[in-house]
Amino acid sequence: MKDSFNANPRPHFVIVPLMAQGHMIPAVDMARLLADGGATISFITTPINAARIRPIIDRIHNSALPIRFIELRFPSAEAGIPEDCENFDLITSENLLKPFVEALPLLCPQLESYLQQSSTPKPDCIIADNWHYWTVEVARKFGIPRLVFHGQSCFSIYCSTVLRRRKMLDEIEDDFQVFELPEMPEKIEVMKAQVRRWVDSPDGYNIRQMFYAGEAAADGIVINTFDELEPWYIDSYRKKAIGKKVWTIGPLSLYNKHVEDRASRGKPSSIDGGVLLQWLNGKTSNSVILVSFGSISRNAFPQIIEIGYALEASKIPFIWVVKEADSAAAAAVGDIETDKWMSEFEERTRLTGLVIRGWAPQSVILSHEAVGGFMTHCGWNSTLEAIAAGVPMVTWPRFGDQFLNERMVVDVLKVGVAVGVKLPPTKVVMAAGEKGLRVVRREEVEEAVRKLMGRGEEAEERRKRVREFGVMASKAMEDGGSSFHNLKDLINFAASHST
Ligand code: UDP
């Protein structure tokens, strides 16, 4: 690897992502974009997380982009969590959630010691996920600016700001009450239970308060979105909520031009790339629906079979990513039931469907012309990747910002069909087989799929709109586009603080 760190006048960003797929994936994209644009990067990670993205690290090293991956030891022992629990998606029980979060600030001494080493170029700017609020102190110590990275939509961030400022959730007693969000340019209705955890910390945590304090202390905000997608919300957040510099630099996924880059995002794929492409190439344009629910939320067995029967009955070609049926994972947690049912299902639907047990190269699939729909949990990365690829969605939110993202997709952008789920699960992290969700019946799932993939006027209108957003997304990232411009400005900002 060519190490362009020595005697390098390029501004040096230190990127500290949350160890969760939905945060690490865009952070790696951001690191590459910044490095490509003239910056030098230290990317903070841990051994297990680095091992997962080894192919992408190797590709970066071969391309001579000046990005150093710094593997800090994850402080599992100090926090009282299992040794290999270094990523949100490795948390196997709700009880481990709090200690995992508490382990994060314990990374501080290691980060400081790395930045003090004489072989490390002087840092010019920290970009930290808002879960790493403790980096406020690191930035202060080194006398450099610290920016918060939000991997969420500006819509969901702005809604949470308004709810908090007006203390609205305190005034609503009933968790099931549906209410209209104030100050919005369109009618947005949510249920308290859908947004409670997004606005306030769950009992016994003060993590959200830490986020807000970390955001208030930040020198600016970087968001994975683009101006043309949600102009009113970006403008309002910038002027009315945060009152500081906001750089919108997305969709970050579009940085991945080569199929190898897209294929190695997150984790090694559970399906051979050739087999996948051959399958997709055999399907007509816009005929396939991708069904996948991100890296964290799990479906219990009764829900899995309802989704399966719905896809089978619809006769619509599908790719279904079933991480619950990853053979190794299923064996480890004893989810033999799912494993067995899936095998029979795969046999029956061999001609129309492709099941991926484990991790799928999602952005490769979404950008293939055969794909015409996406059933998603509305994680912001998945949502933005679908928009960037011009693919309409069936929305099926689970927790966090996802219910708000659903409102954005369905009510604001009008590029999705809601499956109709109203309540979040009782837990964020569900063990295999746990029943924390109301089961959405197969008829409801099938109806949403048919509506999305159908040829009616509404469906065509959705398709047209999302394609238009896709074109805007590409333009934003091209030379001269809004995100391109903001990225340059961000690099200049760090350079102007370089001493
Ligand atoms: N992803 C993927 N393959 C999978 C599942 C997820 O590549 O099988 C990627 C997806 O493209 C996205 C990220 O993982 O970039 C998930 O982030 P998101 O915000 O959508 O959801 P989360 O996993 O954080 O709930």
Contact 128, 149 (CB under 8 A): yes
- Cβ–ligand 1 contact at 380 (below 6 Å): yes
Q: Is the CB of 382 under 6 A from ligand 1?
A: yes
Contacts of 148 (CB under 8 A, 6+ apart): 127, 128, 129, 130, 214, 215, 218, 220, 221, 222
Q: Is 446 in the pocket of ligand 1 (CB under 6 A)?
A: no
DSSP 192-215: HHHHHHHHSPPTT--HHHHHHHHH
Intrachain domains 8-254+478-496 and 268-473 with the same fold: yes
Task: Provide the CB-side half-sphere exposure for 271 (13 A, CA).
Answer: 24
Minimum CA distance residue for ligand 1 atom 2: 362
Q: How far is the CA of 234 from the centre of ligand 1 (A)?
A: 23
| Centroid of ligand 1 to alpha carbon of 289 (angstroms) | 16
Binding site membership of 25 for ligand 1 (Cβ less than 6 Å): yes
Count each helix (H run) and each strand (E run) in the chain, helices first: 23, 15
Residue type, 176: F
Q: Which atom of ligand 1 is nearest to the CA of 398?
A: 25
CA distance 469 to 482: 14
DSSP state of 285: T
Beta bridge partners of 71: 45
* DSSP states along 384-398: HHHHHHT--EEE---
Annotated catalytic, 23? yes
Per-domain boundaries in the chain: 8-254+478-496, 268-473
41 CA to centre of ligand 1 in angstroms: 23
The reply to whether ligand 1 has any atom less than 6 angstroms from the CB of 360 is yes
Residue nearest to atom 15 of ligand 1 (CA): 381
d(CA 5, CA 309): 55
Helix (H) or strand (E) holding 70: strand 67-71
CA-nearest residue, atom 6 of ligand 1: 294
Ligand 1, atom 3, lies closest to the CA of 360
pLDDT of residue 347: 96
Q: DSSP 3-state assignment of 459?
A: helix
Q: Is 385 in the pocket of ligand 1 (CB under 6 A)?
A: yes
21 lines ligand 1 (CB under 6 A): yes
Q: How far apart are CA 102 and CA 321, in angstroms?
A: 31
What is the reported pLDDT for 203? 63
- Which CATH superfamily is 8-254+478-496 part of? Glycogen Phosphorylase B; (3.40.50.2000)
Active-site choice (29, 89, 129, 335):
129
Contact 386, 374 (CB under 8 A): yes
| Three-state secondary-structure class, residue 454 | coil
pLDDT tens digits in sequence order for the chain, 499 residues long: 233 344 447 999 999 999 999 999 999 999 999 999 999 999 999 999 999 999 999 999 999 899 999 999 999 999 999 998 999 989 888 889 889 999 999 999 999 999 999 888 999 999 999 999 999 999 999 999 999 999 999 999 999 999 999 988 988 988 889 999 999 999 999 999 999 888 886 666 678 888 888 999 999 999 999 999 999 999 999 999 998 999 999 999 999 888 888 888 999 899 999 999 999 999 999 999 999 999 988 888 889 999 999 999 999 999 999 988 776 655 555 567 788 899 999 999 999 999 999 999 999 999 999 999 999 999 999 999 999 999 999 999 998 999 999 999 999 999 999 999 988 876 655 554 555 557 899 999 999 999 999 999 999 999 999 999 999 999 999 999 999 999 999 999 999 988 7
- 129 in active site: yes
Give the tokens for residue 253. 């996924």
Domain 268-473 indexed as CATH 3.40.50.12160: no
User: What pLDDT is attached to residue 424?
Assistant: 81
pTM given for the model? 0.94
Residue 377 Cα, ligand 1 centroid: separation in angstroms?
10
